[in-house]
Structure 1
Amino acid sequence: MAICTHIAESNDTQPRSTGCEECLEIGWRWVHLRTCLECGHVGCCDSSRGKHATAHFHDVKHPVVQSAEPGESWKWCFVDEALAP
């Protein structure tokens, strides 16, 4: 199975926060965290109230996030709807 070019070209980017940036600002809780591999934005997953990782993609078009959960390293491309372990 071929990996999309966005995932193949993504970088290991340091997270800008230890929690969802938007949820921390407004006092919401999140379920899981995702880190944008282009700018380091940390957003919550689609199971969370804010869905801020997906919102970040729609706002700035950065295509790839990586799970920020302990023990997980998978990546997701919003453009190609592709998952890489």
Structure 2
Amino acid sequence: MMEAMTCSHVRALPASVVPESTEGCVDCLALGERNWAHLRMCLSCGHVACCDSSPHRHATAHFRSSQHPVMRSVEPGENWRWCYVDGAIV
């Protein structure tokens, strides 16, 4: 198993963030689609988006447009976080 590192981006996150949606990928739903593999949540603003295994890759698109560095999985039983800037599990 890959060991998580600590990065400055995690330390700069808000203490808590509320998911923007509990229905699924906000961007896919806006397109009238429900075809995603896994969901991720931005830990800066709560935006819920689909992963890179999904057709639209909205979580990465959110990072590129917002520069919010850290997201986490919102899949049941998963609690890992990914820092786009450092390219690592944190």
Residue 23 of structure 1 corresponds to which residue in structure 2?
A: 28
Q: Distance in 2 between matches of 1:8 and 1:81?
A: 16
* Paired residues of 1:31 and 1:44 also in contact (CA < 8 A): yes
Q: Structure 1: where are the runs of 5+ without partners?
A: none
* TM-score, length-scaled by structure 1: 0.90
* Paired residues of 1:63 and 1:77 also in contact (CA < 8 A): yes
1:8 to 1, 6, 11: 11
* TM-score, length-scaled by structure 2: 0.85
Residue 51 of structure 1 corresponds to which residue in structure 2?
A: 57
Q: Structure 2: where are the runs of 5+ without partners?
A: none
- Give deviations 1:26-84, integer Å, cap 9, x for gaps: 12210000000000000100000110000000001000001010111100000011102
Residue 60 of structure 1 corresponds to which residue in structure 2?
A: 66
Q: Secondary structure at the match of 1:76?
A: strand
How many matched pairs? 84
Cα RMSD after superposing both structures: 1.4
* Paired residues of 2:19 and 2:41 also in contact (CA < 8 A): yes
Query: Aligned in 2, Cα 1:2/1:32: closer, same or farther, shift over 3 Å?
Result: closer
* Paired residues of 2:5 and 2:89 also in contact (CA < 8 A): no
Q: Displacement, 1:2?
A: 4.2
